[in-house]
Amino acid sequence: MLDTLARATPKTILEDLSMILVTGGAGFIGANFVLDWLALSEEPLVNLDKLTYAGNRENLAALAEDPRHVFVHGDIGDSALTNRLLAQYQPRAIINFAAESHVDRSIHGPEDFIQTNIVGTFHLLESIRGYWGSLQGEARDGFRFLHVSTDEVYGSLAREEPAFSETHRYEPNSPYSASKAASDHLVRAYHHTYGLPVLTTNCSNNYGPYHFPEKLIPLMIVNALSDKPLPVYGDGQQIRDWLYVKDHCSAIRRVLEAGRPGETYNVGGWNEQPNLDIVHTVCSLLDELRPRADGKPYCEQIAYVTDRPGHDRRYAIDARKIERELGWKPAETFATGIRKTVQWYLDNQAWVGNVQSGAYRDWVEKNYGERQG
């Protein structure tokens, strides 16, 4: 349903302007994109989000009185709703962040991932195909659908293997990555079969503000400050390429602006590091910025737990195509990005407390409690 602000905004104000539609814009990456978009542009947007476990309206609190932001609580799989929004607001572009997006959760319960990431994407594509088919002239030629995906669709790399390029074959290894791979294939098929002007981005591991504290970096920060163990899977040598979320958002804006329909662009941070090194970096920053009362280092709280089933050993993104063709590269190094991230969590403890609902605490206990060595 439309929120109060959207209902109070006269249709003529928004419907006479060019605008975009964002799905999943209350989640981690989506909310950062929405906030940055409205900080950098006067173009309004419609934000469609189902508000599942990681969708959080508090991420968008700064926009509570902003008439350029129309929030709609709903599901991308609800064709009647998406058809109505497309007809009413006539967006020039759609950016699809909406997804169930956590490997561990997909292992415990894959069905939601199949329903949202595959079936939901199919229904969204069908609505968009009908809408795009109704457009004429410049509106039709200029329309874009940008699908945001993950490096996990490519599978796992050995240490000596080259990073994932856009031509790397798909070898997903978890229910989450398999569901995202299927959605990527659907998007590609709708371009090749129906001519739908699509763009796809596959990103590496994001980190930064508003990251739900079950993922590695925010979980380490939250647990460290709560004097809890810092759970590290297996030997901690799983390697990821870390991408600051605001860099990711700038890449999406650039792909939307200048990407070629039908193309895929890999977005990475050029920051390959083992998980254990990430944990030690977070601990060192907390030692500096928020020392423990007893003066001991936070790394003493590190606790190794049983690895998760099928844990991929290495992801790495080759981001040369987007730099070569679109002139994009990340602004942050890992050192600058992780310092900003830790400081954000220290400065926003109320946000952390508010997202730690009973359901969230129960899930973390289930996932990590079962793995204590």
Catalytic residues: 151-152, 176
Decide: helix, strand or coil at residue 135.
coil
Distance CA 295, CA 304 (A): 23
Q: Beta-strand (E) ranges in the chain?
A: 20-23, 45-49, 69-73, 93-96, 144-150, 198-203, 205-207, 230-233, 239-244, 264-267, 272-274, 302-305
- Residue carrying structure tokens 């925010």: 218
DSSP 311: -
272 closest CA partner among 223, 299, 323, 237? 237
Cβ neighbour number for residue 334 with a 10 Å cutoff: 22
Distance CA 23, CA 236 (A): 34
Q: Which residues of 223-239 are buried (b: 16+ CB within 10 A; e: fewer)?
A: bbbeeeebbbbbebebb
Distance CA 334, CA 356 (A): 27
173 closest CA partner among 63, 313, 38, 79? 313
CA distances from 31 to 35, 57, 58, 91, 193 (A): 6, 9, 10, 18, 32
